[in-house]
Structure 1
Amino acid sequence: MNTTLQPAAKPTIDTESAWAQVLARDPQATIFYAVLTTGVFCRPACTSRRPLRENVRFFASPGDAQAAGFRACLRCKPSAARGNSLDQVRKHLEANLDRRVGLDELGRVAGQSPFTVQRTFKQAMGVSPSQYQRALRAGSLRSELKNGASVTEAIYNAGFNSSSRAYEADPLGMTPAKFASGGRGERIGYATASSPFGWMIVGGTERGLCWLALADTEAAAEQTLRDEFPAAEIHRDPSLAELVIAALDSVREGRDLSETLSSKSALDLRGTVFQLRVWQALRQIPRGQTRSYSQLAADLGDANATRAVARACATNRVAILVPCHRVVGASGSLTGYRWGVERKRSLLEAEGIHSS
């Protein structure tokens, strides 16, 4: 049975309480007031001259006030994000994993317009609010399954309100039952090819590309896929050879592999929220440039997350397309690389980067 999620109703504002907050210039107030005679809206804590009550209208968010034709006050800047608005949005998403939370609702939580919530959240987190919520569910589902919970228990404990929602969301790149058993029953096709960077392998299910790795020999390349999905049925698929060629071209000629993938296969970048943020940040590093682990951590808004960034790079399942080879040590040294430091050096040199 199909159900349609209805948008959350806008909250009713108690105008008497709201006016009292304006008179008290309450800094904790979450409502906004607009003045008909000036066409401006403010926070209750604004230090501007108090208006006459009959000229005031109240709104739940800056977006609502702007939609009614009012402009933001230049003194209290009611459209600007409050210092803790991101935390408020994140906590609200985390507390409501069992349902979809819309941007209108998040706007009311943060005291911002839906557009501002979407933009500021994605800038800070690297993913949209809906992607963040899906990643949280996916990470929880993975943990539940790996810890031995039954598929049904794991699905509900992860915040999915039905098994069909978990399967539709496809948070694992394969069904939960198959993920729990190491890919048991899953058919994964693969193709390999020799390259200037060693043997390359791509692997994909009917849902899309799930593996792209580099190794010293063809047998070692195949083994990387078998180690990742030990219970899956692995078979050679010549149709994937084009993806190998496209991956090589993306390094040697700077072609965008994601454009090839859009027409050939979907890309499965599944991981924790933090991993998704790191991998997205990696894809934003221009060809011919590098970043240090500490720079990447700072770009993500957490200067103390250098080691976590390094771990996320080490768990990248899709080499080249998510270019973790472009991350180096603070001194410019190559440090580690999942597929070998010398291979990392070769990839960087192919992109015109000569590292120490």
Structure 2
Amino acid sequence: MQHQLVARSVGTSGTPGTVTSALDPRWAALASRDGKADGTFFYGVTSTGIYCRPSCPSRRPRADRVRFFDTTTDARQAGFRACKRCRPDTVGLAQPGVEAVRRASAYLATHANQQVTLGHLGRVAAMSPHHLQRRFKAIVGLSPREYQAAVRAGKLRSSLRDGHDVTTAIYEAGYGSPSRVYEAAPTGKGMSPSTYRRGGAGMVIGYSTVSSPLGLVLVAATADGVCSVKLGDSDAALVRDLRQEYPAADIQANQQTRTDWVKAILRHLRGAEPSLDLPIDVQATAFQWKVWRALQRIPYGETRAYAEVARAIGQPKAARAVARACATNPVCLVVPCHRVVPAAGGSGGYRWGADRKAKLLATEGKRVGRL
């Protein structure tokens, strides 16, 4: 299961469309304020009417209030005005390859259901295939093939939620055959695409919302394990997010069979249970599972940089993809993505708020000092 974060996107045609930002590589760049992404896209915040560059230091907006744009012209035509803090209109295309990468990523997004060779993509972007591969990964954080796979995954989830049968959804997403999508499924416990599809109907999810030192915590679970842990300040907003992910599921409040899991998470937040080992039932790619398992191996009270996690999973060049996997973690605390921090220092961004992340790390640090 992926936590549903909906944003609006405007492509090169200027036509708006809904995307799942948790699956959109641009969301990770926005969430981490990645300066390398400046110039590759811009985002507008509907609640303020302002558009920004990805690295804008302003408070990170809610995903359901975000619209993505390829250019500042698109943003202005949609009625947004430039941010006076990050001055997005001053972003040039001075960084080598930015415009070529923008053309390539736009082409991959509109041809997600086709096999695109690197040679053909190089002709689209007007850059040699070898150089394009290097610049694409340096700027986007994924290879062209990985980026196209992420776009397909987003389309697959959208088709499943729209009620299409699994086989139809897989072919419409461009996987070519059912075996292709199962190759990307986790090898351990987790929802397969068909189980995710059943999440719309016939699936029982119990949840509880409780108070904690970090505010409200929503814990949701299936019969097989925890499928969602969310932090927030509004009970209604947390429940609404859960129902958006499984709109036709049988979602039941205060499911008593999950009380022990909820109590374990609360004890963990108080520092009384450093080791939080709960069953997880989510849908994820093999890469996401690899990253999340690595996060679970980070000792209580310690932190790791994104590059360190990338090296730990045997993919030292995948630091930005690791950051994206952290940003899409649907079961915070159970998978401790808060223990991954920027190499430059500080606690860094957090899907549930930087203040919560800093408090979590401080609590764990104090607890370790007493052990």
**TM-score if structure 1 supplies the norm length?**
0.50
2:260 aligned residue (242, 248, 256): 242
Deviating runs (4+, > 3 A) in structure 1?
139-150, 152-156, 169-172
Q: 2:289 and 2:296 mapped to 1: Cα distance?
A: 11
Q: What whole-Å deviation, never above 9, does each CA across 1:15-73 have from its counterpart, x for those lacking one? A: xxxxxxxxxxxxxxxxxxxxxxxxxxxxxxxxxxxxxxxxxxxxxxxxxxxxxxxxxxx
SS at match of 2:251: strand
Aligned-residue offset at 1:183:
2.1
Aligned-residue offset at 1:144:
4.4
SS at match of 2:347: coil
Task: Give matches, 1:156-171, under 5 Å.
Answer: 157-159=177-179
Report the equivalent of 2:112. none
Task: Give matches, 1:173-188, under 5 Å.
Answer: 173=191, 176=194, 179-180=196-197, 183-188=200-205
Report the equivalent of 1:326. 339
Task: Give matches, 1:1-40, under 5 Å.
Answer: none
Q: 1:249 and 1:191 mapped to 2: Cα distance?
A: 15
1:257 aligns with 2:276: yes
TM-aligned CA distance change 1:151 to 1:170, over 3 Å: farther
SS at match of 1:221: helix
SS at match of 2:365: coil
Q: 1:301 and 1:175 mapped to 2: Cα distance?
A: 27
Q: 1:255 and 1:298 mapped to 2: Cα distance?
A: 25
Q: Is the 8 A contact 2:221 2:281 kept in 1?
A: no
TM-aligned CA distance change 1:329 to 1:347, over 3 Å: same
Q: 2:261 and 2:300 mapped to 1: Cα distance?
A: 19
Aligned-residue offset at 1:199:
0.6
1:151 aligned residue (162, 166, 179): 166
Aligned-residue offset at 1:170:
10
Report the equivalent of 2:87. none
SS at match of 2:333: coil
Q: 1:205 and 1:308 mapped to 2: Cα distance?
A: 28
Q: Is the 8 A contact 2:192 2:283 kept in 1?
A: no
Q: What whole-Å deviation, never above 9, does each CA across 1:120-170 have from its counterpart, x for those lacking one? A: xxxxxxxxxxxxxxxxxxx9998646457632454992229x9xxxxxx99
Q: Which amino acid aligns with 1:222?
A: V
Report the equivalent of 2:220. 203
SS at match of 2:211: strand
SS at match of 2:179: coil
Q: Which amino acid aligns with 1:241?
A: T
Task: Give matches, 1:54-69, under 5 Å.
Answer: none
Q: Is the 8 A contact 2:167 2:178 kept in 1?
A: no
Higher relative contact order (CA 8 A, sep 6+): 2
Aligned-residue offset at 1:307:
1.4
Q: 1:309 and 1:175 mapped to 2: Cα distance?
A: 22
Q: Is the 8 A contact 1:210 1:317 kept in 2?
A: yes
TM-aligned CA distance change 1:147 to 1:192, over 3 Å: closer
Q: 1:191 and 1:299 mapped to 2: Cα distance?
A: 34
Aligned-residue offset at 1:212:
1.3
Q: Is the 8 A contact 2:190 2:282 kept in 1?
A: no
1:216 aligns with 2:233: yes
Report the equivalent of 1:228. 245
Q: Is the 8 A contact 2:196 2:283 kept in 1?
A: no
Aligned-residue offset at 1:223:
2.4
Report the equivalent of 1:38. none
SS at match of 1:231: coil
Report the equivalent of 2:355. 342
Q: Which amino acid aligns with 2:288?
A: Q
Q: Is the 8 A contact 2:222 2:281 kept in 1?
A: no
My pick for the range that moved more, 191-200 or 333-342, is 333-342
Task: Give matches, 1:108-119, under 5 Å.
Answer: none
1:268 aligns with 2:287: no
Q: 1:352 and 1:319 mapped to 2: Cα distance?
A: 18
Any unmatched runs of 5+ in structure 1? 1-138, 163-168
Aligned-residue offset at 1:295:
1.6
Q: Is the 8 A contact 1:247 1:257 kept in 2?
A: yes
Any unmatched runs of 5+ in structure 2? 1-150
TM-aligned CA distance change 1:202 to 1:175, over 3 Å: same
Which protein shows a greater Rg?
1
Question: RMSD of the TM alignment (CA)?
Answer: 3.8
2:308 aligned residue (295, 304, 323): 295
Aligned-residue offset at 1:343:
0.8
The percentage of aligned residue pairs carrying the same residue is 40
Q: 2:366 and 2:347 mapped to 1: Cα distance?
A: 11
TM-aligned CA distance change 1:302 to 1:255, over 3 Å: closer
Aligned-residue offset at 1:280:
0.7
Q: Which amino acid aligns with 1:244?
A: V
How many equivalent residue pairs? 208
Q: 1:300 and 1:170 mapped to 2: Cα distance?
A: 16
Report the equivalent of 2:299. 286
TM-aligned CA distance change 1:241 to 1:220, over 3 Å: farther
TM-aligned CA distance change 1:146 to 1:276, over 3 Å: same
